[in-house]
Amino acid sequence: MAKRIDLSDLDIFYGNFKAVEGVNMTVEPRAVTAFIGPSGCGKSTVLRTLNRMHEVIPGGRVEGKVLLDGQDLYGAGVDPVGVRRTVGMVFQRPNPFPTMTIRDNVAAGLKLNGLKDKKKLDEVVEKSLKGANLWNEVKDRLDKPGAGLSGGQQQRLCIARAIAVSPQVLLMDEPCSALDPISTLAIEDLINELKEKYTIVIVTHNMQQAARVSDQTAFFNLKATGQPGHLIEVDTTHKIFNNPSEKATEDYISGRFG
């Protein structure tokens, strides 16, 4: 089910501006990979190239290769819509569809792609909400609007929505940055469960969170403002946080900059 992602010589552009340069790394399947680094270093940009969401922004383009189990996501004839069905995404701010009920929010991916079988949809809704640890809280109000939930619940709803289309990979762009510590804990527990089934990549500003949830950590940095971001090093989370190979990584993690 879960897939490996190989990035090779990845350059990412916004129009003529090179935002990220020369990324080479492997994202392991059935594991959590964390992207850390200062703001503007390109970690979210790299994340968004993994499901071709980067090109949604006008002028966004990519050079180099992103291989999903050997298949180039940017190869000729690859449909970005198909890629996004395989590589799901959870965003920084919970963004349930405001016009839809809880049930419809979870079923949105399948419904909007043409699945009509109500029984099948209900099954998927239940399974996905259970998968996102939200079922018990919302099972009695599935037909209430999704926007009526608390922030943490909304974010789990978004995770349920993302896993409802049964992706191979789940990308999370600072999924807890808008949440309180208790909701954060709930999401982190969920990430731990989800990694049994999915390849997970998470961008986070919270170093403790990266240390808690991830198996592998990639540190990004940029030399100066206006320069493209780089991948400084990627290794097991244990190594990055205890004995990083690069001085820049150690400085960042310990809170010393420059």
Partner 1 sequence: MTAVPVQDSVTPHDAPQIDLSGRSGGRSLKNNIATVVMYLAFAIAVIPLVWILVSVIAKGGDLLLDSAWWTHSQSGITVRKEGGGAIHAIQGTLLQGLVTALISVPIGVLTAVYLVEYGRGKFAKAVSFMVDILTGVPSIVAGLFIYAVFMTTFGMTRAAIFVCLALTLLMIPTIVRSTEEMLKLVPNELREASYALGVPKWKTIFSVVLPTAFSGIVTGILLGLARVMGETAPLLILGPYTKAIASNLFSGNMATLPTMINQDRGEAITLPAHERIWAAALTLILLILLLNLLGRFASRFSKV
The binding site for partner 1 (CB under 8 A) comprises: 51, 53, 56, 58, 81-86, 88-89, 91, 93, 95, 97-99, 108-109, 112-113, 147, 158, 161-162, 165
Nearer to partner 1 among residue 162 and residue 232 (C-beta): 162
In angstroms, what is the minimal distance from the CB of 38 to partner 1?
19
Nearer to partner 1 among residue 9 and residue 59 (C-beta): 59
Nearer to partner 1 among residue 33 and residue 155 (C-beta): 155
CB atoms within 10 A of CB 190: 21
Helix H or strand E segment including 234: strand 229-236
**Which residues are within 8 A (CB) of 56 and not within 5 positions of it... i.e. 6 or more apart?**
none
In angstroms, what is the minimal distance from the CB of 103 to partner 1?
15
Return the structure tokens found at 174.
């600072």
Helices assigned H by DSSP within 87-150: 102-112, 118-131, 135-138
In angstroms, what is the minimal distance from the CB of 24 to partner 1?
25
Nearer to partner 1 among residue 190 and residue 222 (C-beta): 190
Nearer to partner 1 among residue 59 and residue 227 (C-beta): 59
Nearer to partner 1 among residue 150 and residue 254 (C-beta): 254
Phi and psi at 194, nearest 5°, equal -65, -25
In angstroms, what is the minimal distance from the CB of 49 to partner 1?
13
Residues 218 and 243: their CA atoms lie apart, in Å, by: 14
Residues 220 and 40: their CA atoms lie apart, in Å, by: 10
Pairing relationship of beta strands 229-236 and 32-36 according to DSSP bridges: unpaired
Residues 36 and 210: their CA atoms lie apart, in Å, by: 8
In angstroms, what is the minimal distance from the CB of 64 to partner 1?
22
Contact 83, 52 (CB under 8 A): yes
In angstroms, what is the minimal distance from the CB of 81 to partner 1?
5
Contact 67, 89 (CB under 8 A): no
